[in-house]
């Protein structure tokens, strides 16, 4: 489908896109780029990418699809490095977990947004990082949200949609602000809570060896606290307003629970727990 895909940032997500594209025969060649040459060498050795260029501008010059999968704080740099270097008609997309900040960075660098620019976000991942954690099936039966802009060419949107579908994902179109609100709730807030919980318990751990008695539920609940701290720092900063909004809502809810416990209000507590169980059992596919 594509002659050449350039992947900027060949980590868990970038590497998995490369493997999915190869597995599903969606391109002829994959060029990687990034800051860390030894990781790019490893990506070549693992067969994830065909070759790499340390110069991002060089990496994208032949590409008809450019996927940026770097931490959100590095997008400005990447945009500056590809500006004026990519082919006319190339599709530029990304895998950033927040979309308004990516669009803002692109606007600042490009001025007029390229017609091929279609932001995206595959809703998939694990708590692991790095190309060695990448696998071709990461996007299968998952959802990729794309947020086409007023400036996006419809051919670019169509081709990007087909690409993600080719990787096994279902594709949903969404407004940028809506994406950021939804992800703040379902992804960014849970990560913040998991980090805050584990850090809070780590301080208790100095007194009592609590982690020793953590059972399966705790392991699952805190798995996401093993995710990349830098990546999640960037996400919280980039999606600051939406994250603070859902944090406020959560804190109010937690206050209701605390108050019900403090007041021995068993009925209120059971009502909250029942609503939550019902919502999860109904809406979250296991």
Residues 106 to 165 in contact with a copy of itself, rule: CB under 8 A:
123-127, 142-143, 145
Distance CA 281, CA 286 (A): 9
Cβ closest to a copy of itself, residue 54 vs residue 210: 210
To a copy of itself, the closest distance from the beta carbon of 206 in angstroms equals 10
Cβ closest to a copy of itself, residue 85 vs residue 240: 240
Cβ closest to a copy of itself, residue 155 vs residue 273: 273
∠ CA 216-11-218 to the nearest 5 degrees?
A: 10
To a copy of itself, the closest distance from the beta carbon of 17 in angstroms equals 16
Near a copy of itself in 199-228, by CB under 8 A: 199-205, 208, 210-228
To a copy of itself, the closest distance from the beta carbon of 76 in angstroms equals 15
Q: Residue 104: name the closest of 121, 89, 117, 85 by CA.
A: 117
CB 117 within 8 A of CB 144: no
Cβ closest to a copy of itself, residue 112 vs residue 284: 284
Near a copy of itself in 237-276, by CB under 8 A: 237, 240, 243-244, 246-247, 249-254, 256-258, 261-262, 264, 266, 269-270, 272-276
Q: Residue 122: name the closest of 149, 98, 95, 104 by CA.
A: 95
To a copy of itself, the closest distance from the beta carbon of 137 in angstroms equals 12
Residues 6+ apart with CB under 8 A from 101: 72, 75, 238, 239
Distance CA 11, CA 67 (A): 12
Coil, strand or helix at 2: strand
Size, binding site for a copy of itself by CB under 8 A: 92
Near a copy of itself in 181-200, by CB under 8 A: 181-183, 185-187, 189-200
To a copy of itself, the closest distance from the beta carbon of 235 in angstroms equals 10
Instruction: Map tokens 């489908």 to a residue.
Output: 1
Distance CA 194, CA 265 (A): 27
To a copy of itself, the closest distance from the beta carbon of 126 in angstroms equals 7
Interaction between residue 177 and a copy of itself (CB under 8 A): no
Cβ closest to a copy of itself, residue 28 vs residue 280: 280
To a copy of itself, the closest distance from the beta carbon of 238 in angstroms equals 11
Strands 143-146 and 170-173: parallel
CB 151 within 8 A of CB 33: no
Cβ closest to a copy of itself, residue 155 vs residue 263: 263
∠ CA 48-230-197 to the nearest 5 degrees?
A: 120
Cβ closest to a copy of itself, residue 108 vs residue 154: 108
């Amino acid at each position: 489908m594509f002659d050449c895909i350039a992947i900027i940032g060949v980590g868990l997500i970038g590497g998995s896109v490369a493997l999915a594209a190869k597995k599903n025969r969606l391109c002829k060649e994959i060029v990687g780029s990034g800051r860390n040459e030894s990781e790019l060498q490893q990506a070549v050795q693992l067969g994830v990418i065909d070759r790499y260029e340390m110069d991002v501008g060089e990496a994208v010059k032949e590409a008809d699809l450019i996927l940026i999968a770097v931490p959100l704080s590095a997008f400005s740099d990447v945009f500056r490095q590809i500006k004026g270097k990519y082919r006319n008609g190339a599709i530029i997309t990304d895998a950033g977990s927040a979309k308004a900040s990516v669009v803002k960075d692109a606007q600042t660098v490009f001025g007029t947004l390229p017609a091929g620019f279609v932001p995206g976000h595959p809703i998939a991942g694990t708590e692991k990082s790095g190309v060695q954690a990448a696998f071709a099936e990461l996007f299968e039966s998952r959802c990729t949200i794309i947020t086409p802009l007023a400036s996006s060419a419809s051919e670019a949107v169509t081709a990007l949609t087909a690409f993600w579908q080719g990787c096994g994902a279902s594709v949903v179109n969404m407004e940028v602000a809506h994406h950021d609100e939804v992800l703040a709730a379902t992804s960014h807030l849970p990560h913040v809570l998991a980090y805050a919980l584990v850090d809070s318990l780590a301080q208790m751990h100095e007194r009592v060896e609590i982690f020793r008695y953590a059972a399966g539920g705790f392991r699952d609940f805190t798995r996401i606290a093993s995710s990349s701290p830098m990546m999640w720092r960037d996400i919280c900063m980039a999606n600051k307003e939406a994250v603070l909004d859902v944090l406020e809502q959560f804190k109010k809810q937690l206050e209701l629970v605390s108050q019900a416990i403090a007041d021995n209000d068993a009925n209120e507590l059971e009502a909250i727990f029942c609503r939550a169980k019902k919502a999860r059992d109904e809406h979250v596919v296991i």
